[in-house]
Amino acid sequence: MAVLLVLFVHYASAQTHNGEGDAWQSMNSDTRHGFVWGYTIGLTRGFAQGCNAYYQIAPPQAPHSLQDDLFGKCITKGFGFSKPVAYYEKQITDFYTSFPTDRNVPFEDVLKKLSDSENMTPQQMHAWFKEHGHTK
């Protein structure tokens, strides 16, 4: 994932555009697809590995209930991406196309807003980023 992100940032900065959204718009569908695929796999696996590392350091104490299971709470707060990659590619493209003023919003912030846990539409993302100043 880090390699894809570095390549994306390099690609974005090498362009004469205002933001990552402009770089995204200038890529072909195959490139976009590859970025989404790599990023969602990396984010999901990294989050799960972080939760697992925490679970190894702080195992549950007896008695233990599923409602109090920190590992379960950690995993459910993660960024799952259950839809096809093409869905995310289209939603990101729609977001940057529909809201040109939001093209400075980083790709990863847009993608996280599309995760299963946040599940925002491009319109909802626009409103959220406008209200929160394009922060993560």
Statement: the pTM of the whole predicted model exceeds 0.85:
no
Q: Which residues contact 8 (CB under 8 A, 6 or more apart)?
A: 20, 23, 35, 107
Confidence bin at 54 (pLDDT 50/70/90): confident
Domain count of the fold of the chain: 1
Q: What is the pLDDT of residue 109?
A: 93
| Domain containing residue 57 | 2-132
**Which has more pLDDT, 117 or 101?**
101
Percent of the chain with pLDDT over 70: 70
Amino acid at 39: Y
CA distance 129 to 122: 10
Q: Which of 37-51, 85-99, 107-121, 122-136 has the highest mean pLDDT?
A: 85-99
Which residue pairs from 112-117 have beta carbons closer than 8 angstroms and sit at least 24 positions apart in sequence?
112/43, 112/79, 112/136, 114/81, 114/88, 115/79, 115/80, 115/81, 116/79, 116/80, 116/81, 116/82, 117/76, 117/77, 117/78, 117/79, 117/80
Average pLDDT over residues 14-27: 76
pLDDT over threshold 60, residue 79: yes
Q: What is the pLDDT of residue 80?
A: 82
Q: Is 135 exposed, middle or buried (0-12, 13-18, 19+ CB in 10 A)?
A: exposed
Q: What is the pLDDT of residue 43?
A: 81
Nearest to 112 by CA among 92, 132, 97: 92
